[in-house]
Amino acid sequence: MKNKEQIFKIRHSLAHILAIAVLDKYPDTKITIGPVIENGFYYDIDFGENKIAENDLKDFQKKMKKIISQKLDFDKVEISKEEALEKFKNNEYKTELINEIADNGEAIMLYKTGQIFEDLCEGPHIENTSEIPTDAFKLTKVAGAYWRGDEKNKMLTRIYGVAFETSEELKEYEEKIREAEKRDHRKLGKELDLFTFSNLVGAGLPMFTPKGTKIREAVTDKIWKLQSALGWERVVSPHITKKELYETSGHWAKFSDELFKVSGKSDTRFVMKPMNCPHHTQIFASSPKTYKDLPIRYAENGVVYRDEQAGELAGLTRVRSITQDDGHAFVTPEQVEQEIKNIVSIIKDFYTKLGMLEDGNYWVSLSLHNPEEPEKYLINEDGLFLEAERILEKIAQDENLPYKKMEGEAAFYGPKLDFQFKDALGREWQLGTVQLDFNMPKRFGLEYVDKDGEKKTPIMIHRAIAGSLERFMAVMIEHTAGNFPFWLSPVQAKIIPVGDFANEYSENIFKKLKEAGFRVEFDDSNDGFGKKVRKAKKEKLPYFIVIGEKDIESEKLTLESRDEENSEQIAFEELLEKFKKENE
């Protein structure tokens, strides 16, 4: 993108032009808001009794091009509240916005498009519609959206569009979208039988099949193997808690609207836990600690719950039940640097095994405080906050991390390192993270006795390797297009006998591989051999093992790979070593 400011103006202006096209065909509709979003724009519209479908978009787009060809000017005008209310007196959505703007003491601005349209808007916009390339935008889809994102409000119709500076960029985007549709984790999750949703269970509450569960277990087992070697220990905390826990932690004041409330037989108010960290403070506080006990490291794959709005739910990437790959270390100031280096080593090892830790495929946000707004952060006189920033940058340098300083991105309780990874489509995902917390231990009165016999407050390190297992799984499905690496694949190999005569030999191979700990299946169905092979390929299995007459005679087997065209005859012991190596 050559000119970010210009493309923003073009996209914003196209939202207004879309509104003009809609009103031309449906004069009684009520337009609401039309912001710029990534790659394009949308407009939320109340069509009343009219029903709009995606086949209407071509007509709207054709009309938009005609409007653009008229070379209309965009002009900004400031008007009074009374004038604005009069202009939009038949549109309750605009009226609500006008009153809000006025109540906030802000100026009310209109943008006029030629002499045919005016909209409540702050801008910015292009000067003239001639600046819009008509071959570089497209209306893409129709969706439902509640007014202002609140499901208590009326459902509106949202029309999406994309826009770029050139037609070539639009074509590249469309190709990427086609590829993304092939990789959509919701589509592949169903085809590969990994997870499901049920209306009886509820939206945003995924359930994982045996195959999907095997992927989750492979992820958590791999992480556990890496972190247990560095002193992490598993803990378990309950799914509900008294609200007082989150009042003390500070989460209640900030997130109470996002929490599920639970009522019991008593008057005590409970909530479904939205995060694990406050619980872990209470495990720490359950017994006296000295400096000799620290670092203390708690790890938990705990399920937490957030009351997300229905319209924001999206497959596994946005859910209401979240399995967090969560961990919290309690350390002394002297231990911070080494502890974070250990966590970084776990993150690097894990993503190296996924093939995602390559140059150019990831970067690290060194999230710092904003020096111009120190009041937003807990920067105490002890200087630990600023010292922690220095330590994090030193670690980023020592570990050769491709980091960027991001001022204003720190948590209020301390700075952090956020690992940003690119998937196969170039999309960025924030997955691993390390955060320093000077706030929560103090709020809960956590203490340890130092070597001089004085009581001190520990520093808390929050860390996640995969983050949300649901979101991580969605990313991995789309990144690999369902072609999981061997160690992550729910079924690593399938044994396929050529005919019934090979069943006994095949079953023997199957049992030996199972005993060795590999995730294998034995296809002894009545389907023909060709159908069995096609099924194995459709399931995207890393390997399938064919057993025929020659294999039995030679006491070998034929190994077919998903990633290689040629098959190979191989002895069982050789196969075992090959699988063990790939599993590591």
DSSP string, 475-537: HHHHHHTT---TTT-SS-EEEEESSGGGHHHHHHHHHHHHHTT--EEE--SSS-HHHHHHHHH
Higher pLDDT, residue 308 or 508: 508
With vertex at residue 474, the alpha carbon angle to CA 321 and CA 205, rounded to the nearest 5 degrees, is 25
- Which one of 324, 492, 494, 532 is the catalytic residue? 324
- Which one of 44, 56, 326, 551 is the catalytic residue? 326
Q: What pLDDT does 163 receive? A: 96
Percentage of the chain with pLDDT > 90? 70
Q: Tell me how far apart the alpha carbons of residues 281 and 445 are, in angstroms, rounded to a whole number.
A: 9
Cβ partners under 8 Å of residue 82, min gap 6: none
Please check whether the two domains, 4-180 and 493-583, share a CATH topology.
no
Are 517 and 490 in contact by the 8 Å Cβ rule? The answer is: no
Higher pLDDT, residue 154 or 359: 154
Are 412 and 435 in contact by the 8 Å Cβ rule? The answer is: no
Are 280 and 237 in contact by the 8 Å Cβ rule? The answer is: yes
The answer, yes or no, to whether residue 1 has pLDDT greater than 60, is: no
Least confident of 244-253, 429-438, 479-488: 244-253
Q: What pLDDT does 321 receive? A: 94
Determine the distance from the C-alpha atom of residue 234 to the mean position of all C-alpha atoms in its chain, rounded to a whole number.
Answer: 25
Determine the distance from the C-alpha atom of residue 167 to the mean position of all C-alpha atoms in its chain, rounded to a whole number.
Answer: 30
- Which one of 94, 277, 325, 471 is the catalytic residue? 277
pLDDT band at 267 (very low <50, low <70, confident <90, very high): confident
pTM of the model: 0.82
Q: What pLDDT does 380 receive? A: 67
Least confident of 61-70, 115-124, 307-316, 412-421: 307-316
Return the domain boundaries, the chain.
4-180, 195-237+285-479, 240-275, 493-583
Q: What pLDDT does 583 receive? A: 86
The answer, yes or no, to whether residue 426 has pLDDT greater than 60, is: yes
Name the DSSP letter for residue 457: P
Q: What pLDDT does 372 receive? A: 83
- Which one of 462, 471, 479, 519 is the catalytic residue? 462
- 328 is a catalytic site residue: yes
Q: Tell me how far apart the alpha carbons of residues 76 and 410 are, in angstroms, rounded to a whole number.
A: 37
Convert the pLDDT of each residue in 514-553 to its tens digit. 999 999 999 988 888 889 889 989 999 999 999 998 989 8
Cβ partners under 8 Å of residue 113, min gap 6: 13, 16, 17, 20, 67, 72, 73, 74, 119, 129
Higher pLDDT, residue 312 or 89: 89
Q: Residue 271: how many CB atoms within 10 A of its CB?
A: 21
Q: What pLDDT does 311 receive? A: 72
Q: Which of 265, 291, 9 is nearest to 126 (CA)?
A: 9
Q: Tell me how far apart the alpha carbons of residues 211 and 353 are, in angstroms, rounded to a whole number.
A: 20
- 326 is a catalytic site residue: yes
Name the DSSP letter for residue 116: T
CA distances from 227 to 339, 351, 399, 451 (A): 12, 14, 18, 28
- Identify any residues that bridge with 436 across adjacent strands, giving them in sequence order: 461
Determine the distance from the C-alpha atom of residue 474 to the mean position of all C-alpha atoms in its chain, rounded to a whole number.
Answer: 8
Question: What does pLDDT average to over the chain?
Answer: 91
The answer, yes or no, to whether residue 323 has pLDDT greater than 80, is: yes
Backbone angles phi, psi at 183, to 5 degrees: -95, 0
Helix 167-183 × helix 469-480 angle, to 10°: 110
The arrangement of secondary structure in 4-180, i.e. its CATH architecture, is 2-Layer Sandwich (3.30)
Q: What pLDDT does 266 receive? A: 83
- 338 is a catalytic site residue: no
Are 110 and 76 in contact by the 8 Å Cβ rule? The answer is: yes
Q: What pLDDT does 162 receive? A: 96
Cis amide bond preceding 206, omega within 30 = no
Residues in the chain: 584
| SS3 annotation, 65-80 | HHHHHCCCEEEEEEEC
Tokens describing residue 481: 């297009």
Determine the distance from the C-alpha atom of residue 188 to the mean position of all C-alpha atoms in its chain, rounded to a whole number.
Answer: 17
pLDDT band at 268 (very low <50, low <70, confident <90, very high): confident
Q: Which CATH number does 195-237+285-479 carry?
A: 3.30.930.10
Tokens describing residue 131: 């600046």
Average pLDDT over residues 426-440: 88
CA distances from 203 to 259, 330, 526, 554 (A): 16, 36, 38, 54
Convert the pLDDT of each residue in 356-409 to its tens digit. 877 678 999 999 988 888 877 777 666 778 888 888 999 999 988 999 999 988
The answer, yes or no, to whether residue 575 has pLDDT greater than 80, is: yes
Burial level of 467, CB count in 10 A (0-12/13-18/19+)?
buried
Least confident of 18-32, 115-129, 263-277: 263-277
- 269 is a catalytic site residue: no
The answer, yes or no, to whether residue 146 has pLDDT greater than 60, is: yes
- 462 is a catalytic site residue: yes
Average pLDDT over residues 88-93: 94
Q: Which of 477, 217, 531 is nearest to 544 (CA)?
A: 531
Q: Residue 342: how many CB atoms within 10 A of its CB?
A: 20
Dihedral of the alpha carbons of 506, 511, 514, 518, in degrees to the nearest 10: -30
Percentage of the chain with pLDDT > 70? 99
- Which one of 30, 216, 328, 471 is the catalytic residue? 328
Q: What pLDDT does 447 receive? A: 96
- Which one of 348, 416, 463, 471 is the catalytic residue? 416
At the top level of CATH, the class of 493-583 is alpha beta
